[in-house]
């Protein structure tokens, strides 16, 4: 497997992102050639890695990722220009939310169903749902495609550092974190939690909702659980490697 680490910067993060793209497609959490993930590579958050415009998640390689510079007047021109909504949303998040070094936005099925409900709260009905107890921002004011103004508005909603998931009402989900592994792990488990909740609603039966103190205790215990996010992504990369995937090229 070719390794371009000697001549492309941030190679580890590129490979991690590429693996996250591939696995998101594998889990059918992507949406054709839309949606986008990013990772900050400058201290001020104004320069970040991102997937190329209109590239399917299942084909993205580490070397394909583009560098977006918010201070480059030509950032939106040329063959490698980012998707304008990706530029607006991720640019707003990274420029205004210091604790969002990684951001993942997708229209995964169950999170998007949750975003389509009049009440988009996720009650703690199981351990995965409890993970996100009081840790989700709900955007009630969808304003159309996420160009720069909409991106800045969304960024302003991440004013509480304990909340790293945004249910984007009428849109999808946006997850932030410090590393690719942390952010992807959070994205994965939020989709699992949303699926459990939506399927429970479909039974029409009463929900078994955890008491607040147990939900908070569970969330804190999971936040302190050692290395799960790193091990999760490492295992996914190992599976891709064993299949001979070209994600890390």
At 133 the three-state DSSP class reads coil
pTM: 0.94
Pairing of strands 165-168, 136-139: parallel
Residue 54 resides in a domain: yes
Domain that holds residue 222: 11-242
Tell me the pLDDT tens digit for each residue of 91-107: 999 999 999 999 999 99
Exposure string of 197-211, with b = 16+ CB inside 10 Å and e = fewer, is: bbebeeeeeeeeebe
Residue 117 has pLDDT above 90, yes or no: yes
What pLDDT is attached to residue 84?
A: 85
Residues 109-137, mean pLDDT to the nearest whole number? 98
Residue 247 resides in a domain: no
Tell me the pLDDT tens digit for each residue of 171-220: 999 999 999 999 999 999 999 999 999 999 999 999 999 999 999 999 99
The secondary element (H helix, E strand) that includes residue 147 is none
Residue 4 resides in a domain: no
| SS3 per residue for 6-52 | CCCCCHHHHHHHHHHHHHHHHCCCCECCECEEEEECCCCCCEEEECC
- What is the side-by-side order of every strand in the sheet holding 172-177? 66-69, 47-50, 36-40, 102-106, 172-177, 165-168, 136-139
Pairing of strands 66-69, 165-168: unpaired
The secondary element (H helix, E strand) that includes residue 66 is strand 66-69
Contacts of 82 (CB under 8 A, 6+ apart): 36, 50, 52, 53, 66, 68, 75, 76
Residue 79 has pLDDT above 80, yes or no: no
Residue 128 has pLDDT above 50, yes or no: yes
> Tokens 């190679």 label which residue?
11
Residue 5 has pLDDT above 60, yes or no: no
Domain count, the chain: 1
Average pLDDT over the chain reads 92
Residue 230 resides in a domain: yes
Residue 47 has pLDDT above 70, yes or no: yes
Residue 109 resides in a domain: yes
Residue 137 has pLDDT above 60, yes or no: yes
- 148-156 and 84-96 helices cross at what angle (nearest 10)? 30
Residue 196 resides in a domain: yes
Residue 44 has pLDDT above 90, yes or no: yes
Q: Is the Cα torsion angle 43, 83, 147, 162 positive or negative in sign?
A: negative
Distance between CA atoms of 194 and 131, rounded to whole angstroms?
A: 11
Which residue intervals of 123-227 are DSSP H helices?
127-131, 148-156, 180-203, 212-223
Of the candidates 21, 43, 58, the residue with the CA atom closest to the CA atom of residue 180:
21
Percent of the chain with pLDDT over 90: 81
Residue 3 resides in a domain: no
Q: What is the DSSP letter of 58?
A: G
Percent of the chain with pLDDT over 70: 95
Phi, psi of 132 (to 5 degrees): -105, 15
The CATH number linked to 110 is: 3.40.225.10
Residue 2 resides in a domain: no
């Amino acid at each position: 497997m070719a390794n371009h680490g000697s001549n492309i910067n941030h190679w580890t993060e590129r490979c991690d992102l590429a693996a996250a793209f591939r696995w998101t497609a594998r889990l059918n959490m992507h949406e054709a050639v839309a949606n986008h993930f990013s990772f900050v590579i400058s201290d001020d958050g104004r320069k970040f890695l991102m997937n190329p415009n209109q590239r399917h998640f299942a084909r993205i390689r580490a070397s394909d990722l583009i560098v977006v510079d918010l201070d480059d007047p030509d950032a939106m021109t040329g063959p490698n220009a980012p998707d304008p909504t990706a530029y607006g949303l991720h640019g707003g998040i990274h420029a205004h939310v210091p604790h969002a070094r990684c951001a993942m936005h997708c229209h995964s099925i169950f999170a998007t169903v949750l975003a389509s409900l009049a009440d988009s709260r996720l009650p703690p009905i199981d351990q995965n749902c409890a993970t996100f107890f009081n840790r989700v921002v709900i955007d009630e004011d969808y304003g159309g495609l996420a160009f720069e103004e909409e991106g800045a508005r969304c960024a302003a909603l991440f004013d509480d550092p304990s909340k790293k998931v945004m249910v984007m009402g009428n849109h999808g989900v946006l997850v932030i974190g410090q590393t690719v592994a942390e952010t992807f792990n959070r994205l994965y488990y939020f989709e699992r939690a949303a699926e459990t909740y939506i399927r429970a609603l479909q039974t029409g039966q009463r929900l078994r909702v955890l008491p607040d103190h147990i939900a908070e205790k569970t969330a804190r215990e999971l936040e302190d659980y050692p290395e799960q996010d790193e091990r999760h992504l490492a295992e996914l990369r190992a599976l891709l490697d064993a299949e001979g995937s070209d994600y890390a090229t």
